[in-house]
Structure 1
Amino acid sequence: MRLTYTVPLVSLVMTGAALAGCGASSHPATSPPSTVAPATSAPTQAESNPAGDIPDNQVYVAYRYDHGGFTVKVPEGWSRTQTANGDVSFTDKLNRIELSGAHATTAPTPQSVDAAVVPSLRAHVHGFTLGHVSTVSRAAGPAVLLTYQGDGPVDPVTGKAAHDSFERYVFFKDGREAVLTLSGPTGADNVDPWRTVTDSLRWQ
């Protein structure tokens, strides 16, 4: 007796589709090789200071200002100039320290500096903007601090003037005033250098 088997049509269709898929390629499907860039380290850059920042390793030397009767530490190597009336300034590129002295009958106060000094600065400093007037403590005693902004000296090469920040300290002792004005480009971080200078004042 001959036995006859009947295969469902659905099974034949699925089997045929599977065989067709296998016959499409004799190799298994593979993804294209990925390209991995070799690891590289960022280039090492030398540390640089923003414009006007005084280096942390700056050396300071004592300067005796006989006209004002005091000594103060100033950055070594800065250029020194003196005016006809005895004022002395130290400059290096974008920064400046000015020293002056005068006789006074009473100690300055924030109110007296505001009344006597600010109008003159407003008239003579181009782009003047007042900051604040306060009393601060330093090693030589209290001082009146006036902060402001304005245009610095004109560069003889470029003909342009940078916008500077100023700190003007007025010290007093025994009828004498010592005035220290420190300036540099607005945005420069010279808090520590300016503290070194103003904290070093000693009366003679």
Structure 2
Amino acid sequence: MNVRRRACAASASVVLAVAALAGCGASGTSAAAGPNPPPPPAPAESNPPGDIPDNQVYVVFKPATGGFTVSVPEGWSRTSTGPVTAFTDKLNRIEVSEHAAATAPTTASVTARDVPELAKAVPGFTPGKASEVSRKAGRAVLYTYQGTTRADPVTGKTVRDAFERYVFHHNGRDVVLILSGPVKADNVDPWRTVTDSLRWQ
């Protein structure tokens, strides 16, 4: 009887020792793992060259001759050459001009009269298409095309530009807005803001 008790006691001691060792091994594994690593940072947003910021502020431009106003991005450089006033910033450009016109433009008249002149004036000219569009100031003829900028005087690099040329007509006058920027830039909303801002005076 004493032998059986001693055997049982010995077995119980072995079971307790194994359980203790197992507990120590689990605890050690948990400590080694440590806290979960933080998730990797989100990739930085990359905008194509020439994208106009969504928070761009616009100011009203009124030519000395009067007759209309149009909103242009605030802070852009302004230059005037004859009847053309240009606003530029880095890779983007807006040209505003007006001239007398007895009749309103059509897609046919723009294609026949204006496109040959553009082909001569714009380096690397690639023709696009003419269409009628509606803006807040009324109907306009839009002609889209592409061209290559003149080489940068410092780097010698050129940029392939996309052009949107709008012709509005009112009381015997045409107002022409030419908006341009790099082909891959997404400036649909800014260009819509500018062309929707035209107001007749």
TM range (shorter): 0.7 to 0.9
Aligned to 2:78: 80
Aligned to 2:45: 47
Note if 1:139 corresponds to 2:136.
Answer: yes
User: Shift in Å at residue 46 of structure 1?
Assistant: 4.4
Asked whether the 8 Å contact 1:95–1:183 carries over to 2, the reply is: yes
Asked whether the 8 Å contact 1:102–1:177 carries over to 2, the reply is: yes
Asked whether the 8 Å contact 1:162–1:185 carries over to 2, the reply is: yes
User: Shift in Å at residue 67 of structure 1?
Assistant: 3.6
Note if 1:180 corresponds to 2:177.
Answer: yes
- Whole-Å Cα distance in 1 between the matches of residues 153 and 170 of structure 2? 39
- Whole-Å Cα distance in 2 between the matches of residues 119 and 176 of structure 1? 21
Superposition misfits of 4+ residues, deviation over 3 angstroms: 44-48
TM-score (norm 1): 0.78
Aligned to 1:159: 156
Report matched runs for 1:1-204 at 5 Å: 39-67=37-65, 69-83=67-81, 85-204=82-201
Helix, strand or coil for the counterpart of 1:65?
Answer: coil
More helix by share: 2
Greater mean alpha carbon deviation, residues 62-71 or residues 147-156? 62-71
Larger Rg: 1
Identity %: 64
Aligned residue pairs, count: 170
User: Shift in Å at residue 153 of structure 1?
Assistant: 3.5
User: Shift in Å at residue 43 of structure 1?
Assistant: 2.4
- Whole-Å Cα distance in 2 between the matches of residues 158 and 78 of structure 1? 22
Q: How well do the aligned residues superpose, as a CA RMSD in angstroms?
A: 2.0
- Whole-Å Cα distance in 1 between the matches of residues 153 and 114 of structure 2? 28
Structure 1 residues 191 and 178, CA gap change in structure 2 (3 angstroms): same
User: Shift in Å at residue 125 of structure 1?
Assistant: 1.4
Asked whether the 8 Å contact 1:80–1:89 carries over to 2, the reply is: yes
Q: What whole-Å deviation, never above 9, does each CA across 1:16-60 have from its counterpart, x for those lacking one?
A: xxxxxxxxxxxxxxxxx9xx9x64422245434220100000001
TM-score (norm 2): 0.79
Amino acid aligned to 1:108? P
Structure 1 residues 153 and 201, CA gap change in structure 2 (3 angstroms): farther
User: Shift in Å at residue 132 of structure 1?
Assistant: 0.9
- Whole-Å Cα distance in 1 between the matches of residues 120 and 156 of structure 2? 22
5+ unaligned residues in a row in structure 2: which ranges? 1-28
- Whole-Å Cα distance in 1 between the matches of residues 74 and 151 of structure 2? 24
- Whole-Å Cα distance in 1 between the matches of residues 193 and 121 of structure 2? 28
5+ unaligned residues in a row in structure 1: which ranges? 1-32
User: Shift in Å at residue 187 of structure 1?
Assistant: 1.1
Structure 1 residues 171 and 78, CA gap change in structure 2 (3 angstroms): same
